[in-house]
Structure 1
Amino acid sequence: MVAAAPPVDDVPPDADADNDDANDAEDDAAPELNGNGATGEAKKKKKKKKPKKKKPEQSEPPRIPLSKFFTDGNYPVGEIQHYKDDNAWRITSEEKRYIEKTLNADAEQTYQNIRKGAEIHRLVRQHARKTIRPGMSLTEIAEEIEAGTRALAEADGLDGGVGFPTGLNINNCAAHFSPNAGDTTVLQMGDVLKVDIGVHIKGRICDSAFTLSWADPAYDNLLKAVEAATNTGIREAGIDVRLGELGGLIQETMESYEVEIGGKVYPVKPIENLSGHTITPYQIHGGSTGKSVPLVKTADQTKMEEGDYFAIETFGSTGRGRIVENGDCSHYARIYDAPNVPLRLTSAKSLLKTINKNFGTLPFCRRYLDRLGESKYLLALNHLVAQEIVSAYPPLYDQIGSKTAQFEHTILLRPTCKEVVSRGPDF
């Protein structure tokens, strides 16, 4: 999986020899002056230039570990946005700047883990955006993304790698679909595909998603509406911002767009029972104390706070703007504060050990269990779900015939500014 960096290949040996001979001949022919301006017999020795080391180049598809490019452990800072209005003073505040300058080692390492995951995300998703095409199977797409993530992170498990199962959600499926073993779904012309990718380093998850479309160009407005709504959420987010009010601004942006298909106009609706969320170590939805960023105006008076790490994600639909669970489940996660209950199935005990060792509370899917060599585990998995030790997250669908879109970035509310850690040149 890990390719070596390309070797340095400078001037061929024979060419060096020819050049040396030519240089010697020129030196013999040209008279040399001594300190008094007279011709001297001593010949100056010509210094050979050391060959320059070539910088490593990332492979295509990306497989060379990120540590080869950032040897000092410092990873690129994301897009910096200033806080608005009452928080604009933070960017020049000596107190807040001092706080950031004097971060303890653990806090600084957290920043670097987040940024490393974000850089991996950018490389993997940019390759995916260039290569995903109709005719590819969803399994092929998911496995390519996940292989790149594991290779760049040089990890597969609790130390780093895949942060959650790759979401590949087509048309009216908005979220939580990843192909199980044996799935034969193939991407078609006319599809609208949401690609939701998670990368983690030491439990710090980068969560970012985008939408690709091969449908009628009229659906481009759906994608524009959702991306604009996500950017509104990012722009308006900040310390002390009330989540219910932020949802209203997201809603206003999304509902300003419409889609015309076959002479019929469809308003773009925010999917009201989906939301953005805080992310805490090894917990994609922030655990029991997590905060949610609604996509519509609500009465929620909860405030964003300094140090919060949010996934700002928005979903839009040409349907009813409300999703329901349906279909074969692929996404699961162990519950952080699950009750300590006796398990009557030996297979369930064994499977729980596998989950604890490889995923902890990170989401996983059935393909990941297959990859670890687990087999005939469905009964045990369902038993863990029934005992409320593991949560199941079935696919989420709007009404049949509708199209849905998703865009998402992760942001860090730093003491002085917002850092959109997952921002890249693509979106």
Structure 2
Amino acid sequence: MKIIEEGVKYIEVVEAVEELIRRRGAELAFPVNVAVNSIAAHYTPAPGEKKRFQHGDLVKLDVGAHIDGCIGDTAATVEVGTSSWSGLVEASRQALYRAISFIKAGVSLGELGGVVERVIRSSGFQPIVNLTGHSIDVYKLHGGYSIPNYNNHNPLRVKEGLILAIEPFATNGGGTVASGGNSNIYRYLKTKIGLKPELQQMARSVERLRRGLPFSSRWFVKEIKGSVRDLRRMVSRGVLYSYPILVEEKGGMVSQWEHTIYVKENGVEVLTERTGAD
């Protein structure tokens, strides 16, 4: 991720990645997330945002693309100009690949979470226990399976044919996240009777174009020609869900790695692994 450098604006990186996805013939499954330092997940820049990466930042870039509703979800962590957190970065990366090598049809979710937990704890860090991986369905980013980052003793077993997003989060903090401020990420819920006509039209456009997948305030302003105020009004009426920023409860640094996999009888196929030069 060479584009993430000191002084570069968050929005420049996010929009470059989003444009690359579209140029390659796919669509966004969700806005590109950029989560810095103690922010674990759920942040994308607002329209015109000026925030820049700083020396020493620990940056999680979470990317989702889809073709006809078939979703790939992947994430990686980099440091800006330093290697102060290389152990933390490596803990979540190793946990991801150890989990991938462990998964096959019949493995329980608790056992899988235990693999992630052991790798992270043995590296001297904590897994974030209230963030999970997830199964993926067509046009549905979070399916019916939650993949824990610790052994929660869930006996539910992984089935052949499942699409799973495995995403270990590691921290030097307390091991849980809490809700913070506005992430600039939204999802359509339902149209409400009595909504003003202009908001009703916007809501229908969002429903038609996103089909239940998350979207950003940037996209809403550019494509729907609405405003941030319109978004707030629709959130207050229960038409849209506003995702909160998720922040490590004790202010700890957070790393994340993620791949989407297809479960086979005796292993997996990694669907989001890079296969060639860009």
TM-score (norm 2): 0.93
Closer/same/farther in 2, CA of residues 180 and 415 from structure 1, 3 Å limit: same
Q: Which amino acid aligns with 1:240?
A: G
User: Alpha carbon RMSD of aligned pairs, Å?
Assistant: 1.9
Count how many residue pairs are aligned between Structure 1 and Structure 2: 276
Measure the CA separation in 2 of the matches of 1:386 and 1:414.
Answer: 44
* Aligned partner of 1:179 among 42, 45, 57: 45
Q: Which amino acid aligns with 2:207?
A: N
Q: Following superposition of structure 1 onto structure 2, how do residues 280-319 of structure 1 map, counting pairs within 5 Å?
A: 280-286=137-143, 290-319=144-173
Q: Higher strand share goes to which structure?
A: 2
Equivalence for 1:121: none
Q: Which amino acid aligns with 1:198?
A: G
Unaligned segments of structure 1, at least 5 residues: 1-128, 154-159, 259-267
Contact 1:318 1:402 in 2 (8 A): yes
Q: Which amino acid aligns with 1:133?
A: E
- Alignment of 1:334 onto 2:184: no
Measure the CA separation in 1 of the matches of 2:49 and 2:203.
Answer: 25
Q: Following superposition of structure 1 onto structure 2, how do residues 241-280 of structure 1 map, counting pairs within 5 Å?
A: 241-258=107-124, 268-280=125-137
- The Cα offsets for residues 94-130 of structure 1, whole Å up to 9 and x where unpaired, read as xxxxxxxxxxxxxxxxxxxxxxxxxxxxxxxxxxx13
Equivalence for 2:222: 371
Equivalence for 1:320: 174
Measure the CA separation in 2 of the matches of 1:414 and 1:301.
Answer: 19
Q: Higher helix share goes to which structure?
A: 1
- Alignment of 1:130 onto 2:7: no
Equivalence for 1:395: 245
Measure the CA separation in 2 of the matches of 1:223 and 1:393.
Answer: 25
Measure the CA separation in 1 of the matches of 2:272 and 2:80.
Answer: 25
Equivalence for 2:208: 357
The residue matched to 2:181 in structure 1 has which SS? coil
- How far 1:162 moved relative to its partner? 1.3
- Alignment of 1:211 onto 2:62: no
Measure the CA separation in 1 of the matches of 2:250 and 2:56.
Answer: 15
- How far 1:415 moved relative to its partner? 4.9
Unaligned segments of structure 2, at least 5 residues: none
Measure the CA separation in 2 of the matches of 1:217 and 1:341.
Answer: 50
Contact 1:175 1:396 in 2 (8 A): yes
- How far 1:343 moved relative to its partner? 3.7
Q: Which amino acid aligns with 1:395?
A: I
- How far 1:382 moved relative to its partner? 3.5
Contact 2:182 2:243 in 1 (8 A): no
- The Cα offsets for residues 146-200 of structure 1, whole Å up to 9 and x where unpaired, read as 11111111xxxxxx41111001010000101000113211001110000001111
Equivalence for 2:257: 407
- The Cα offsets for residues 2-32 of structure 1, whole Å up to 9 and x where unpaired, read as xxxxxxxxxxxxxxxxxxxxxxxxxxxxxxx
Q: Which amino acid aligns with 2:18?
A: E
Q: Which amino acid aligns with 1:208?
A: T
TM-score (norm 1): 0.61
Contact 2:159 2:263 in 1 (8 A): yes
Closer/same/farther in 2, CA of residues 221 and 131 from structure 1, 3 Å limit: same
Larger RCO: Structure 1 or Structure 2 (Cα < 8 Å, ≥ 6 residues apart)?
Answer: 2
Q: Which amino acid aligns with 2:159?
A: E
Structure ID, larger Rg: 1
